[in-house]
Structure 1
């Protein structure tokens, strides 16, 4: 078996073309979707992510801005900025780029964002709605993963999905979204004993552990769908995932590459959420 590659880049381009048409229609009604990203400090990776979000916004005709604050900014000052954005009717989506400096309580910041503008999908109200299957802003990376599965008409109902990783950003929410579509879900993590015993049972395997090429074909059930969320930079500068792509491709039915896999879909779903916010679809 040679796995079929699920290209996040290709799917992203298709979806962004559709979004551009939707934005053109919204502009005829006087609605210009607007995303504001708040960047604290000068972390190179964060700056790169933020620049990518602005570029993608511009490509589809969305309005966007980046508010840059110094590393030394206090939590009170950051909260004032968010409150101003909450009150600004021209701002539809607010995203505070993580991580934040140590003097700032991340949860306080997430909870201060108006849930109707929380296009990252991290506010407890939106997480609660996701848990109960209500319409809301879904966290972007898990939403992107589900969109990739749907794009290939991969059956989820009744399948055994194994998620390696339990972060609030990827692991926990993607497991919940799979459960919402009637998969049987198992979570594995750093304390799991005999990881291979669980992964060998997975019809759908989502890997988000941040260690390069850990999952080889020996961990996989024949015909498994493999979603690789990891992005690791090797000593030679190349990027690789948490899954050994070449080895796993010999056993899997579908697999996502790194790069050009899950990564492009994360930003795409952020744009989708911002358009949804501009249309006032989340109450």
Structure 2
């Protein structure tokens, strides 16, 4: 079996086109473009690259971006103060704190400073609770992108067994909650899981979000399964051993070009959502 690749780049382009039309309508209605503010703490090269990429995609899709860069020596109080300032600014529709932040900044405290209305990355506890309950919210970008990708390939999660490897607050945990709300049966695997290969072998849909290159071996994959690899590591490696997994899976995301493009596309779409909601409540 040779798996079909799930093309996140193509789907992201479609979402960007839809977002651009909506952003232009917001701009026409209120006289200024939707705005995403990014907060970058420190000088990590990968984080800086991600922020520049998001700013470029914003510009291409009718959304303004505002960058706030703070030194790595910043305290939690200094970072939260910067976020509060953006949150109080009526010209800012969405706020993204680039993670991870340097130690000893309390990342959770910084996230909780963002108001629910402007939490376009879906990182606050209020957003996580809303995702668990299936109530309206800005859904976490990578998990929401994964579900859009599955839907575009007609993978209906209802009744399927979804195995999530990883339980981070921004990826593993919310993608499992969103899958549960779609009526999947969800198993979370993590560093304390016993017999990981057996757990993975039971998955109709495997979502790899563990952050370790090629931890998941291809021979562990159930024949005909759907494999979503949310990892990205130097050399273009994911969390899954792609070549051998593709011999068993029915559908698989490439790395790069699978989950990554969808994350940014959803982020910008969420920002325009926030701008639209602001128009309604104004």
TM-score (norm 2): 0.95
What is residue 130 of structure 1 aligned with on the other side? Answer: 131
In the other structure, the counterpart of 2:7 is 7
Question: After TM superposition, where is structure 1 displaced by more than 6 Å over at least 4 residues in a row?
Answer: none
In 1, the alpha carbon distance for the partners of 2:277 and 2:24 equals: 17
| Equivalent residue in structure 1 for 2:239, among 239, 242, 260 | 242
Deviation at 1:253, TM superposition (A): 0.7
Higher mean alpha-carbon deviation, 31-40 vs 209-218, is at 209-218
What is the CA distance between 1:81 and its match in structure 2?
1.6
Cα distance per residue 1:67-125 (max 9 Å; x no partner): 11111222222222222111111100011111222232111111111111011101111
Q: Which residue of 2 aligns with 1:94?
A: 95
Deviations 1:38-89 (A, max 9, x none): 1111110110111111011011010111111111222222222222111111
From 269, 273, 282, the equivalent of 2:270 is 273
Question: Does 191-200 or 213-222 show the bigger shift?
Answer: 213-222
CA distance, structure 1, for counterparts of residue 215 and residue 95 of structure 2: 35
Per-residue CA deviations over 1:195-228 (Å, capped at 9, x if unaligned) read: 1111111100001122222323311111100000
Partners of 1:192 and 1:130 in 2: how far apart? Answer: 24
Instruction: Find the aligned partners of 1:24 and 1:171 in 2 and give their Cα distance.
Output: 33
What SS class does the counterpart of residue 65 from structure 2 fall into? strand
* Structure 2 unaligned residues grouped into runs of 5+: none
Structure 2 Cα separation of the partners of residues 3 and 102 of structure 1: 41
Instruction: Please tell me the root mean square deviation across aligned C-alpha atoms, in Å.
Output: 1.4
**Residue aligning to 1:227:** 228
d(CA) in 2 for partners of 1:183, 1:212: 27
Give the whole-Å Cα distance in 1 for the aligned partners of 2:267 and 2:164: 22
